[in-house]
Amino acid sequence: MSPSPRRARLLMSWIAATAVWCSVFAAAIVTGLRSSPEAMHDATAASVGSLGAACAGLLMWRTAARLRPTRRVSYQMMAAGVQVTAGTVAAACWLPSGAASFAAGIGFTAAIGLYGLALLRLPDERWDGAAVQRRLVDGSFVGVCALFAFWLVVARPWLQANRGHLSNGDLAIIIPGMLGMVLLGVGLTTTFRLNRWRRRHAFAYTAVLAVHTSGLALFTTWQWNLPEVNTLWWSVAWVASTAALLGVTYLALRQKPAIDKPNYPSVHYTVMAGAAVLATAVFLHNGASSGPLPLDAALLALGAAAALGGRLVLTNIDVRRVAGDAADRQRRLSAIVGVASDTVLVLDTDLKVTWHPEDSEWRPATEAGQCLGARFLDLIHADDRRGAEEDLRALLEGINATGKVTLDVRVRDSARRWRHTETVVTDLRGQQQVRGLVARVEDVGARRSLEAELARMAYTDPLTGLANRRALLQSLEDGVAAEEHRTALLLLDLDGFKNVNDTRGHDFGDELLVEVSRRIKELLQPTDLGARLGGDEFAILLRANRSEAVSMARDLVAKLSDPYEFHDASTVFTTGSVGIATASDGMHDPETLLRSADLALRAAKQAGKNRYETYDAEFDRKVRRRNELTQELRGAIARDELRLAYQPVFALENRSIVGAEALLRWHNPRLGQVSPGEFIPAATESGLTQDLAVWAVNRAAEQLAAWHSAGIKAWISVNVSVKELHTHLFATEVNTALIAAGVPASRLVLEVTEHDFSHQMNTLVAQLQALRGAGVRIALDDFGSGYSSLGQLDRLPVDIIKIDRDLVAKDDGGVGPLAAVTVELGRRLGMEVIAEGVETDTQLEAMIKAEAPLVQGYLLARPMPADDLTRWLREDPAAITAE
C-alpha cells in the first residue's frame, strides 16, 4: 500500500533533516580530530557556524509547524533553506576540496531556490501561479539589471585583479551570489505591490538575504584562505542572521490579521525603470571606455533582456485575459439587457444622450428615430415633459439632496409606440468613468396593466360586473366629501331569493342575480354607481337629492317586480325592497349613510316588502332601543333585575282567588322600568326566551313552595312560547324546578298562546302530553285570536282555555258577542275557562250571566308583587277554594 502524500512529505523531511545533522556531526568530528590544543583547524569556524545554523533551522521548522496551514509552508521552506545551507557548509568541512566546492555550489544554489520560492509564495494564502510568475519576472529583471551593473563595474574588475582565472570553487561562490542579487530584486519589487503583510514580507526577505549573504561570505573567506578571524566573525554573523530569521517566524506566529493598504505601483515601476536605466548607463559607459561586452557580461545582459521579454509576454497574456474577461462581461451584460424590460441611457449636462446599450430589448427614440445625440426630453411624451424637466433641472443644480430622481413618464420607442416607464435618473457626474447622468428607463406597461386588472378585480363583483363593497365605500367617501348635499344611497334586497336558491339551485340563483344586475344597470346614469354587496344585496350610489332618489327607488321596485324569464323557458317572480338615505339628512360620513340606508331597508322589509322606504329617525330610535334592550337583557338574570308580578284569577262562584298569572317585570338601573311589550319581543328576537321561561318557572315554583308551607292552595300560571316547548330540555327543567321546590305539579300551569300552535303540531302535542303526564296543567292563552280549528282544539292536551280579551271586552267597555259562546264551548269540551280582560262591571255581569267559571282583569285586581298577593290570601282564608 503506497503511503499518503502527507506521510511521504513527512518521511522526506525526516530523511533530509537526518542527512543535514549527520553532515553537521561529521564536520564537528572531523574538525575536532584535525584540531590541536595549540591551533584550531581552519574549518573549525565553518563547522561551528553550520552547527548554529542547523539548530536555528530546526527551531524555525518547529515554530512554523504552529502557524496556519496557509502560512506554514513558506516559513518551513525558509527553514529548509537554512538547513540545506548548514548541511552544505558542514559537508565542505569533511569532503575533499574539489567535492567540497561542488557540494557548496549545489547547496547554496538549492538554498537560494528554496528562499526564492518561499518569498514568492509568502504574500498569498495559497500557491498562485500567475502572481508568482509576475513577481519572479519583475524581480528577476530588476535583480539581473543590478547584477549586470555590479558585475561589470565592481565584481569583474576585482576578481580579475585578485583572483585571476576563476576556478570551479570560485564559481560555487559567484553563482549563488548572483542568484542572491536576483533574489534582492524579487523582494524589492514584490514589497511595493503588496496590499497587506508588507512589513512581514520585508522582514522575511531581509533576514533571508542576511542568512544567504553571511553564509556565502563565511564560505568565501574560508575557501579563499582569508584571515581566520574574518571567517570567525562571518560565522557569528551567519548564526545571528539565522536567529533573526527565527525571530521573524515567531513574529508571524503572533501577528494579528492585517487590513488592506494601498500599494505603490508607481514606486514599483520606478524601481524597474531605475534598474533598466542603471544597466543601460553601465552598458553605454562600458562600450565607450572598454569596447564590446565580455561574454559573461553579455550573458547577464541577455538574461535581463529575457526577463524583460518574459514580462512583455506576461503583460500580453494579461491584456488578452482582461480583454477576454471584459468581452465575456459585455456579452453577459448584453444578454441580460437584451431580455430585460429596462434600458440605460447616459446623459450629459445638456441632457443629451451620449450612450445607449446596443443589445437592449428596446430603444428610446425621437419622432425621427434618433437616440444618441438627441435630447432626453424629446424622447418623453409632451404631457409628461414639463414635470420631468423641472425634476432634472433640480438634479443638475444640486437642489435634490439625494442625487437621484424618479420620473413616471411615457417614452417613445423606435417603433413609435409610447411606453409607460419608471425612469430613475442618478447624478454620476462626479465619477471619472461616467461624468454624466445615468437614466435607467424601465418599461412598466405590463406591470401597470396587471395593476389595473388587479384593481378591477379588487373593486368589481366577479359575478355581476358591478362594483363591490370596497368600491362602494371608496366612492361613498369621495362623494360625501365632495357633494354632501347631492349624495343618496339606495340599498336593495331581493324578496324571497332564498326560496329560489333552495328550489331551483344556486346556479339558477346566480342567473337571477345577473339579470337583476342588468336591470339595475339600465336605470343608472353615468354619474351613478351600482354595486353588489354580497348575496342578494345591492346598492346604488346616486348624485341626486331626496326626491330624485325616491323616484329612482320607485322605478327600481317596479322594474324588479317584472317576471324573469330564463333560457329553460321558466319564469320566476320576485320583488325587491329598497331603503333610501341621503347625505342632506345630516349624515356626513359614509358609515352613517350606509347604516341609515340599511335601517330604511329594514323598515321596508317589516312594512311588507316590495316597496321602498326612506330613512326615518323614529324607526332608527326604535332599532337602537331594541338593540340596547337586547344587550342589557342578556345579563339581567345574573344581575337579579327581573321580578314576577302576579295577577289573581277569581272564581265567580264565590269571588275567591284560585290562582294567579305570573307576569315578568324588568327594572334596569340605567333604562329604568322596561315594559314587557318592549323586552319580550326583544328577547324573542335574540333567542333569550328559553332563559327567561326557565327563570320564571323556577321563581314560580319557589313561590308555590312558600304558599304550600303557608297552607295556601292557589296555582300559578307561567307564559311560555312554543319555541321552549319544542326544546326537550325544557320539560326536564320544569320537572327539576318542581321537585326542588317540593310542590305538586298540578299547582303549575303553563300558558301557550293559540297562534303559536300552527307550527310543528305533532311535536308540540308530544311535548305537552309529556308535561301533562308529569302533572303540569296546560292553558291555551288568547283563545279566539288565532286560527286554530275546533279539530285541532280537540287534539291538543289542554286543561284550561283563556278567552282572549277581544272576545270578552269591546273598546267602549261593552261585552264581546262571542264571549258566552266560547264559555259554552269550553264547558262542552270539559275544559276550565278563564275570561281575561274584564275591566268593567258590564263585562263582569256578562261573564256571570254566561256562567264563566273563572275571570281575570283589572276590574278585579291588577298585577301585584308576591308579598301583596300572599298577604291578601292570608287575610281572607275563607275566599280560598278547595283544590
Average pLDDT over residues 195-207: 69
What number of other Cβ atoms are within 10 A of residue 179's Cβ? 21
Give the mean pLDDT of the chain.
Answer: 78
d(CA 79, CA 114): 9
550-558 average pLDDT score: 92
pLDDT at 655: 81
What radius of gyration, in Å, describes the C-alpha atoms of the chain? Answer: 58
Return the higher-pLDDT residue of 519 and 307: 519
The whole-number pLDDT of residue 838 equals: 86
Q: Using one digit for the tens of pLDDT, what is the confidence trace for 60-96?
A: 777 777 777 777 777 777 777 777 777 777 777 767 6
pLDDT at 786 over 60: no
Nearby residues of 757 by Cβ (< 8 Å), 6 or more positions away: 722, 764, 780, 786, 788, 792, 796
Q: What share of the chain is helix, strand, coil (3-state, %, to 5)?
A: 60, 15, 25
| For the ranges 102-116, 135-149, 856-870, the one whose mean pLDDT is highest | 856-870
- Report whether 633 contacts 606 (CB < 8 A): no
pLDDT tens, position by position, 685-716: 777 888 888 899 999 999 999 998 988 889 99
Tell me the per-residue pLDDT of 97-110, one tens digit each, with 9 for 90 and over. 667 677 777 777 78
pLDDT value for 841: 85
Average of pLDDT values for 398-406? 81
Q: How far apart are alpha carbons 212 and 257 in whole angstroms?
A: 29
Assess whether pLDDT exceeds 50 at residue 881.
no
Local confidence band at 1 (pLDDT 50, 70, 90 cut-offs): very low
- The rounded distance, in Å, linking the Cα atoms of 705 and 709 is 6
Split at pLDDT 50, 70, 90, the class of 717 is very high
Instruction: Report which secondary-structure segment, H or E, holds 250.
Output: helix 228-254
Residue 27: predicted pLDDT: 62
Average pLDDT score over residue span 400-413: 84
Q: State which amino acid sits at residue 544.
A: A
Does the structure show a pLDDT above 70 at 587?
no
pLDDT at 449 over 90: no
| Range scoring the smallest mean pLDDT among 242-251, 279-288, 322-331 | 322-331
How much is the average pLDDT of 857-881?
A: 79
Handedness of CA 362, 365, 369, 375 (dihedral sign): negative
Residue 767's pLDDT band, with cuts at 50, 70 and 90, is: confident
Whether residue 125 is predicted with pLDDT greater than 70 in this model: the reply is: no
pLDDT tens-digit series, residues 37-54: 554 555 666 667 677 777
Q: Which among 816, 808, 852 is positioned nearest to 834, based on CA atoms?
A: 852
- pLDDT interval class at 878 (50, 70, 90): very low
Q: Please tell me whether residue 428 adopts helix, strand or coil conformation.
A: strand
- Residue 3 pLDDT more than 60? no
The answer to whether residue 461 scores a pLDDT higher than 60 is yes
What pLDDT shows up at residue 490? 92
Question: What pLDDT band is residue 226 in, cutting at 50, 70 and 90?
Answer: confident
Q: Which pLDDT does position 813 carry in this prediction?
A: 56
879 pLDDT band, cuts 50/70/90, is very low
| pLDDT over 70 percentage in the chain | 81
Distance (Å, whole) CA 57 – CA 79 = 5
Query: So what's the pLDDT on residue 216?
Result: 74
845 or 532, which is more confident?
A: 532
423-447 pLDDT, tens per residue? 888 888 877 777 888 888 888 877 7
Asked if residue 748 lies in contact with residue 734, where contact means CB atoms within 8 angstroms, the answer is yes
Instruction: Please give the helix or strand (H or E) that residue 534 lies within, else none.
Output: strand 529-534
Report pLDDT for 880: 39
Kindly report the CA angle at 765 between 853 and 644, in degrees rounded to 5? 55
Beta partners for 565? 571
State phi, psi for 612 to the nearest 5 degrees: -125, 150
Q: Crossing angle of helices 5-34/69-94, nearest 10°?
A: 30
Q: What is the pLDDT of residues 729-749, one digit of tens each?
A: 788 888 888 888 888 988 999
Least confident of 86-90, 239-243, 389-393, 687-691: 86-90
pLDDT confidence tier of residue 643, bands split at 50, 70 and 90: very high
Comparing CA positions, the residue from 780, 768, 786, 748 lying closest to residue 662 is 748
Question: DSSP of 324-346, one letter per residue?
Answer: HHHHHHHHHHHHHHHHSSEEEEE
Q: How far apart are CA 640 and CA 667, in angstroms?
A: 9
Q: What is the arithmetic mean of pLDDT over 803-820?
A: 67
The amino acid at residue 74 is: S
pLDDT at position 715, please?
93
Choose the weakest-confidence range: 354-358, 583-587, 850-854: 583-587
Cα(102)–Cα(92) distance, rounded to whole angstroms? Answer: 9
- The tally of CA atoms less than 13 A away on the side-chain side of residue 810 is 9
Letter string b/e over residues 828-854, b meaning 16 or more CB atoms within 10 A of that residue's CB:
eeebbbbbbbbebebbbebbeebebbb
The fraction of the chain above a pLDDT of 90, given in percent, is 10
- Residue 882 has a pLDDT of 34
Q: What number is the average pLDDT over the span 675-680? A: 83
Q: What is the pLDDT of residue 97?
A: 67
Most trustworthy range by pLDDT among 294-303, 505-514, 790-799: 505-514
Distance CA 636, CA 137 (A): 102
What are the CA-CA distances from residue 872 to residues 329, 632, 652, 841, 864 (Å)? 110, 34, 17, 22, 11
Q: Which of 169, 125, 119, 168 is nearest to 140 (CA)?
A: 119
The pLDDT tens digits of the residues spanning 180-191 come to 777 777 777 777
Q: What are phi and psi of 649, to 5 degrees?
A: -115, 125
Mean pLDDT of 538-566: 89
Enter the C-alpha cell of residue 347: 446623459
- How many CB atoms lie under 10 A from the CB of residue 785? 15
Determine whether 588 is exposed, middle or buried from the number of CB atoms within 10 Å of its CB (0-12, 13-18, 19+): middle
Distance CA 873, CA 858 (A): 18
pLDDT value for 427: 85
